[in-house]
Structure formats: structure tokens, C-alpha cells
């Protein structure tokens, strides 16, 4: 397995990973070509940005089996920025094979090089990764006293 930075040419492979995640109804309810277009547009913005990195995990034959997106967010009250992991998805056929762990380890390595104070992410409690303790098993700590608010704009 190889972990590398994504390129715009990886849009079809990332779209295929997303369509493999059955819980993502907003993705699986639309054609894979539409998802590919959305991913390509996002990669066109993310790839050249110094505040974002998208990593892909590939098999020896180059197939994308997982990806992770992280954003480097400056905080005025921390000594360094926060790395905010917004997406981490692994094909069902490659779960429990070290793909997600390898992606997170690369994010952690890069965060340390950037002088980040911490990494953070959100994980829905009804997701498989939460239920099987994926993040907790890698020393990520759940923040019990914080509320997560969103304001939908669509």
C-alpha cells in the first residue's frame, strides 16, 4: 500500500470509494459520474491549497482504496494550528487492513511537521468506525463537553 497526495486525476478513484460507503446516501443516491464531477471540482481547489491536503491510499496496482482530507486551521489561542480531518473513507473490502490507520499516521506526521497543536475530527456515533472504536483505539479522545453545531446553507 502507498499513501500519497491526491491529484485531480484521482477524482474517479475517490468517487468510487465514496460510492462504496453505503451510509453516504447523499452520494449513493446520485450517479457516480456526478460524484466524480463534484470530487474533481473539490480537488481542483484543494490540491493547490497550502491549507488543505488530500491523501489517497493505493494498492500496488494503483487502485485507490481509501482517502483522507485534512485542513490546517490557524487558531489564535493555540501555539500552532489545528489539523482538522474532514473526511476519512476506506472501501469496505479494505477495512481492518491498516488503510485508515496508515492515512491517519501520515496526517499526524504532517501535522507535527507543521507545528500543529492538535488534530480533530467528527465521527457520527451511528457510524461503523465509531461503534468499533476505530479512533479511540488510536488514542483519539472524545470530547464529551463540546456540542457540535451546524448551520445548513442549502
**What pLDDT score does 136 carry?**
83
Q: Which residue has the higher pLDDT, 131 or 95?
A: 95
27 vs 38 pLDDT, higher one? 38
Domains held by the chain: number: 1
Kindly report the pTM of this predicted structure. Answer: 0.90
Q: In this structure, what DSSP letter does residue 124 have?
A: -
Question: How long a stretch of residues is the chain?
Answer: 154
Mean pLDDT value across residues 10-26: 91
CATH of the domain at 79: 3.40.630.30
Q: What is the mean pLDDT of the chain?
A: 92
Which band of pLDDT confidence, cut at 50, 70 and 90, is reported for residue 154? Answer: confident
Query: Does residue 144 belong to any structural domain of this protein?
Result: no
Q: Which of 66, 73, 48 is nearest to 3 (CA)?
A: 66
Give domain status of residue 118, yes or no. Answer: yes
CA distance 102 to 147: 29
pLDDT at 10: 98
- Confidence (pLDDT) at 137: 87
**What Å distances lie between residue 21 and 48, 67, 80, 89, 104, CA to CA?**
27, 12, 34, 8, 19
Q: Average pLDDT for residues 94-98, to the nearest whole number? A: 93
- Domain around 68: 2-137
pLDDT for position 9: 97
Amino acid at each position: 500500500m502507498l499513501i500519497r497526495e491526491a491529484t485531480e486525476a484521482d477524482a474517479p478513484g475517490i468517487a468510487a470509494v465514496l460510492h462504496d460507503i453505503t451510509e453516504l446516501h447523499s452520494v449513493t443516491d446520485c450517479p457516480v459520474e456526478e460524484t466524480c464531477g463534484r470530487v474533481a471540482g473539490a480537488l481542483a481547489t484543494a490540491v493547490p491549497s497550502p491549507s488543505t491536503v488530500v491523501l489517497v491510499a493505493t494498492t500496488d496496482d494503483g487502485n485507490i482504496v481509501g482517502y483522507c482530507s485534512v485542513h490546517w486551521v490557524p487558531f489564535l489561542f493555540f501555539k500552532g494550528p489545528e489539523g482538522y480531518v474532514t473526511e476519512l473513507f476506506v472501501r469496505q473490502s479494505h477495512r481492518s487492513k491498516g488503510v485508515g490507520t496508515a492515512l491517519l499516521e501520515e496526517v499526524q506526521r504532517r501535522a507535527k511537521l507543521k507545528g500543529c497543536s492538535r488534530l480533530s475530527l467528527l465521527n457520527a456515533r451511528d457510524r461503523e468506525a465509531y461503534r468499533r472504536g476505530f479512533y479511540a483505539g488510536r488514542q483519539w479522545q472524545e470530547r464529551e463537553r463540546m456540542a457540535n453545531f451546524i448551520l445548513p446553507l442549502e
